[in-house]
């Protein structure tokens, strides 16, 4: 029976995004639960696909769990200094009150940048390490989009990352972190670590593990873990493909491994890094203009084929977008698309006005483009029919968000000609059919579906899609990384696969 402290602090920071994450963003529920602290934490994640849920399932019943603070905010620009310091004060207070501990587990993302630190997780792990001392094992799970830093590797005994994008293995990763942590406590031994950086950034949409080259590289990651060579056993291997829109020197993909000996860990990271280096050309992405994508989708859509899905990646709220740009929507209307739907547009003002008008009413709206996320964009003005009004509360059912109780706030489904729009009062990446279906529309019957998502939508919408196009429409999550105004990357890092080296 071990005494294990369990907490988390999750944020994916896009340093080019328009809005910062303040304390309120961490306190409130969104696609994930609100801030948790104290005994309630142990049951708050039950049945959810989140890392801490997998960890708690693996540890509860057999070990004593000491809850720390856990919170997350939707991806955005920097975490405010105030939010970071308030959450860390809670975490350190909870650790101080916990008494003697055998281990600490933290559910982290790995790409947090705060107003005052480039490396949010490096700072979290350093402070927790200072509080618990050198001998208590400290293990963190990480998102596949972590920009793993040297400080993170130094302060944690193990970093264990997801292996899927869409992230269908978040809970499973928490369980793997638990098994690793149990083993560290039982053996009392410290493992050797190795870290290798790749020297190019991988565009988000090309990181998808359902397609090549990521599919075979992650196969190799799984196969390398547990491997025994002349150098000894490799206990854990993680490959984080990185979160590219982050203007810090340590941005980019990293391989981390742990093993019996330094040589075993080194051999493992080299094996994966070599495979990733060989795959560089295959990590380049194809982007469509809104006009071409909509024309192509209209030509290809046919009853019974399943929707042509357009990924509005640059406005993905899961990557710092506000989910309110209207570039593709305007194109759908201009080209008179039929049986088309866009989800989910963030516009609380329009949702409130439409809800007030009521189902069946026609209401004049200036839709979307209110947050300034894409300079030069204007709201789409016109008359919209209100098809459905909901409270935005529902249970997600797909493989990515499955089990989450979603709270999108007042939500409406609008119609203009053959185009429907799901408009919500809170930001949410459209990665679950229920985000559309709860408004009374079955996405499987659509001819064209536009999702504000980069890759996660593929988990639930991929199987029904007749085709997927990645579209370069206005939004702060710049898909073509060569267009981002980076100033602080490390010298020589290629900003796109086979592209030019930064600062060189």
Nearest distance in Å: CB 146, Zn ion? 8
Q: In the complex, what is the shortest distance from the CB of residue 76 to Zn ion, in angstroms, rounded to a whole number? A: 14
- Interface with Zn ion in residues 6-45 (CB under 5 A): none
Q: For the chain, what is the radius of gyration of the CA atoms? A: 22
Q: Indicate the residue among 145 and 494 with the shorter CB distance to Zn ion.
A: 145
> Which span sits near Zn ion by CB under 5 A: 53-61, 135-143, 429-437, 465-473?
135-143
Nearer Cβ to Zn ion (94/143)? 143
Yes or no: say if 1 and 62 are a contact pair by the CB < 8 Å rule: yes
Q: 79 or 326: whose CB is closer to Zn ion?
A: 79
CB of residue 411 to Zn ion, shortest distance in Å: 24
Q: Helices (H), strands (E): how many in the chain?
A: 14, 19
- Shortest separation between residue 209's beta carbon and Zn ion, angstroms: 11
> Cα 481–487–492 angle (5° rounding)?
70
What's the CA gap between 369 and 287, in Å, rounded?
Answer: 22
Beta carbons of 128 and 91 less than 8 angstroms apart: yes
Residue whose pair of structure tokens reads 């944020």 in the numeric block: 11
DSSP strand pairing (380-390 vs 411-416): antiparallel
Question: Residue 155, interface with Zn ion (CB under 5 A)?
Answer: no
DSSP states along 262-301: HHHHHHHHHHHHHHHHHTGGGG----B-HHHHHHHHHHH-
Number of residues that bind Zn ion (CB under 5 A): 2
- Label residue 360 exposed, middle or buried (CB < 10 Å: 0-12, 13-18, 19+): exposed
Strand ranges, E, within 182-334:
192-197, 228-229, 232-240, 254-259, 308-311
CB nearer Zn ion, residue 413 or residue 456: 456
Closest approach, Cβ 294 to Zn ion, in A, equals 28
Smallest gap from residue 167 Cβ to Zn ion (A): 6
CA dihedral 453, 458, 464, 466 (to 10 degrees): 80
Rounded to a whole number of angstroms, the minimum distance from the CB of residue 245 to Zn ion is 13
- Indicate left, alpha or beta for 99 from its phi (over 0: left) and psi (-120 to 50: alpha): left
Cis ω before 213 (30° cut-off from 0): yes
| Nearest distance, CB of residue 13 and Zn ion, angstroms | 12
Stretch that binds Zn ion, among 2-10, 142-150, 247-255, 371-379 (CB under 5 A): 142-150
Pair of tokens at residue 263: 């040589």
CA–CA dist 484, 367 (Å, integer): 27
We find the least distance from the C-beta atom of residue 189 to Zn ion, in angstroms, to be: 31
Q: Which of 121, 143, 280, 324 binds Zn ion (CB under 5 A)?
A: 143
Looking at 143-151, 234-242, 262-270, 403-411, which segment touches Zn ion (CB under 5 A)?
143-151
Contact of 311 with 468, CB cutoff 8 Å? yes
Tell me how far, at minimum, the Cβ of 166 lies from Zn ion, in Å.
Answer: 9
Task: Find, among 76, 71, 72, the residue nearest to 113 by Cα.
Answer: 76
| Bridge partners, residue 4, by sequence | 65, 103
CB of 144 to Zn ion, least distance (A): 5
Phi and psi, residue 462, nearest 5°: -55, -50
Identify the helix (H) or strand (E) that includes residue 56: helix 51-59
In this complex, which beta carbon is closest to Zn ion, that of residue 123 or of residue 143?
Answer: 143
Nearest approach, Cβ of residue 244 and Zn ion (Å) = 12
How many Å apart are CA 120 and CA 9, to the nearest integer? 10
Among all residues, whose Cβ is closest to Zn ion? 145
Give the one residue of 37, 63, 78, 145 binding Zn ion; rule: CB under 5 A.
145
- 111 beta partners: 12
When the beta carbons of 163 and 438 are compared against Zn ion, the nearer one is 163
Q: Which stretch binds Zn ion (CB under 5 A): 42-50, 95-103, 110-118, 138-146?
A: 138-146
Nearer CB in complex with Zn ion: 145/197: 145
Region binding Zn ion by CB under 5 A among candidate stretches 136-144, 345-353, 381-389, 420-428: 136-144
Residue closer to Zn ion, measured from CB, 218 or 502: 218
> Based on CB atoms, which residue is closest to Zn ion, 119 or 143?
143
Residue among 161 and 194 whose Cβ is closer to Zn ion: 161
* Cβ atoms 110, 161 nearer than 8 A: yes
Given the complex with Zn ion, which of 45 and 502 has the nearer CB atom?
45
Binding window for Zn ion (CB under 5 A); candidates: 137-145, 278-286, 422-430, 438-446: 137-145
**Smaller CB separation from Zn ion, 167 or 426:** 167
Residues that bind Zn ion (CB under 5 A): 143, 145
């Amino acid at each position: 029976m071990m005494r294990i402290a369990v907490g988390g602090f999750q944020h994916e920071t896009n340093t080019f995004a328009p809005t910062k994450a303040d304390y309120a963003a961490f306190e409130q529920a969104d696609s994930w639960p609100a801030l948790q602290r104290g005994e309630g934490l142990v049951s708050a994640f039950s049945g959810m696909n989140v890392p801490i849920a997998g960890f708690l399932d693996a540890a509860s019943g057999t070990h004593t769990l000491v809850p720390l603070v856990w919170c997350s905010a939707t991806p955005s620009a920097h975490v405010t200094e105030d939010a970071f310091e308030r959450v860390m004060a809670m975490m350190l207070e909870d650790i101080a009150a916990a008494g003697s501990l055998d281990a600490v587990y933290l559910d982290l993302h790995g790409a947090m940048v705060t107003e005052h630190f480039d490396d949010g997780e490096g700072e979290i792990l350093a402070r927790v390490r200072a509080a618990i001392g050198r001998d208590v094992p400290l293990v963190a799970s990480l998102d596949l989009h972590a920009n793993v830093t040297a400080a993170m590797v130094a302060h944690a005994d193990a970093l264990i990352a997801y292996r899927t994008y869409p992230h269908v293995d978040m809970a499973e990763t928490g369980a793997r972190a638990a098994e690793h942590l149990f083993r560290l406590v039982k053996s009392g031994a410290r493992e050797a670590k190795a870290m290798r950086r790749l020297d190019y950034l991988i565009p988000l949409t090309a990181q998808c593990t359902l397609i090549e080259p990521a599919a075979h590289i992650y196969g190799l990651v799984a196969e390398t873990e547990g491997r025994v060579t002349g150098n000894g056993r490799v206990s854990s291997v993680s490959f984080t493909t990185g979160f590219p829109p982050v203007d810090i020197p340590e941005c980019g993909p990293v391989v981390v491994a742990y093993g019996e000996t330094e040589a075993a860990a080194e051999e493992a990271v080299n094996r994966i890094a070599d495979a990733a280096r060989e795959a560089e050309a295959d990590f380049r992405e194809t982007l469509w203009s809104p006009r071409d994508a909509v024309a192509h989708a209209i030509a290809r859509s046919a009853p019974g084929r399943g929707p042509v899905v357009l990924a509005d990646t640059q406005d993905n709220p899961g990557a710092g977008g506000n989910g309110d740009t209207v570039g593709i929507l305007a194109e759908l209307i201009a080209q008179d698309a039929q049986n088309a739907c866009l989800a989910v547009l963030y516009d609380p003002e329009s949702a409130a006005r439409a809800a007030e008008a009521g189902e069946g009413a026609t209401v004049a709206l200036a839709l979307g483009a209110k947050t300034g996320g894409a300079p030069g964009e204007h709201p789409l003005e016109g008359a919209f029919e209100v098809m459905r009004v909901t409270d935005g509360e529902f249970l997600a059912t797909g493989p990515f968000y499955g089990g989450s109780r979603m709270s999108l706030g007042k939500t409406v489904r609008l119609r203009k000609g053959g185009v429907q729009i799901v408009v919500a009062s809170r930001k949410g990446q459209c990665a679950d059919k229920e985000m559309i279906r709860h408004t009374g529309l079955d996405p499987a019957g659509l001819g064209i579906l536009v999702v504000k998502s980069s890759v996660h939508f593929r988990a639930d919408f991929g199987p029904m899609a007749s085709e997927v196009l990645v579209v370069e429409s206005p939004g702060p999550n710049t898909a073509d990384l060569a267009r981002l105004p980076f100033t602080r990357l490390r010298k020589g890092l290629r900003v796109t696969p086979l592209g030019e080296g930064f600062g060189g």
